[in-house]
Amino acid sequence: MGIRSHAAHLLDVTELTKTFKGLHALEDVNLQLDADEILGVIGPNGAGKTTLLNLLTGYLLPTRGKIFFQNKDITALRMPAVTRLGIARTFQNIRLFGAMTVLENVVTAQQLRTEFSLPEVLLATGSFRRKERELVEQAMDHLSIFGLEDHADQLANSLPYGMQRRLEIARALATSPKLLLLDEPAAGMNISETDALHEMILEVKRRFHLTIILVEHDMRLVMNMCDRILVLNYGRVLATDRPEAIRQNADVIESYLGKAHHTAAS
């Protein structure tokens, strides 16, 4: 009985616009996302892909436009509040808690859904110990999905690059999101690493009933994984369609795919 038509969508973005000192990083983006979908976002560098994620998570506030998540207006919410509502993300330039261990990185995200009172902590009560144990167990569970359980006690910044990327996804997952935003998770990975990543993402999607927005340059990964693809160019939506249709779309080929294919071939 919703008055608004977006009632059915998990995410409903209208006329989303972000301007940096006159530069339109994102302009009039409309986007509806249903639960269980995987949406790919592609476009050349500077197209506004990361800016879109920054707006959806409240890291940046839009110049104009609205963002509804589960029928709730989250346009003005900042990052911690958005995360609490169930949108988690990774970063294009990996952002880990470098001086903390792999396990601590995940537990720090995991604790979002657990309340600790100060007296409980200072007195190290039984309930405190129990909750800590549970957090660690859940975190180890997440780590094992990403093949990181043997590195739990290592410092995050001592991990090799590919593992850092996976740890970031594990950490995002630990906040128990409904919507997961991945910003170029396969960047810098070789084919087999990318394939492994593909499997892991599908695995967590199934296990945790996730909806995913995947920003990615690796066309093979995007085409294989996504239900729909949104193409950005100079901050504007060039097309939103199924992968097969995007592959045929002349505009897209012109502005992006052509170039990407050329560079891939060369």
**Residue ranges binding other proteins (CB under 8 A):** 57, 59, 78-80, 83-84, 88-89, 91, 95-100, 104, 107-109, 111-112, 114, 116, 118, 121-122, 124, 128, 132, 171-172, 174-175
Residue 93 interacts with ligand ADP (CB under 6 A): yes or no: no
Site string for Mg ion, 128-147 (x = CB under 5 A): --------------------
User: Which listed residue (37, 50, 152, 179) binds ligand ADP by CB under 6 A?
Assistant: 50
Among residues 96 and 204, whose Cβ is nearest to other proteins?
A: 96
Binding partner of residue 265 among ligand ADP, other proteins, Mg ion, none, CB cut-off 5 to 8 Å per kind: none
Residue 50 interacts with Mg ion (CB under 5 A): yes or no: yes
Please measure the distance between the N-terminal and C-terminal CA atoms of the chain and give it in whole angstroms: 55
Instruction: Express the helix, strand and coil content of the chain in percent, nearest 5 each.
Output: 45, 25, 30
Smallest Cα–Cα separation from 101: which of 140, 61, 53? Answer: 140
Task: Dump strand ranges (E) for the chain.
Answer: 11-20, 23-33, 38-42, 64-69, 72-73, 87-89, 179-183, 211-215, 228-233, 236-241
DSSP secondary structure string for all residues of 8-41: G-SEEEEEEEEEETTEEEEEEEEEEE-TT-EEEE
Number of residues that bind ligand ADP (CB under 6 A): 11
- Contact segment (CB under 6 A) with ligand ADP among 45-53, 134-142, 191-199, 205-213 equals 45-53
d(CA 126, CA 156): 29
DSSP annotation of 155: B
Binding site for ligand ADP (CB under 6 A): 20, 23, 25, 43, 45-51
Binding site for Mg ion (CB under 5 A): 49-50, 92
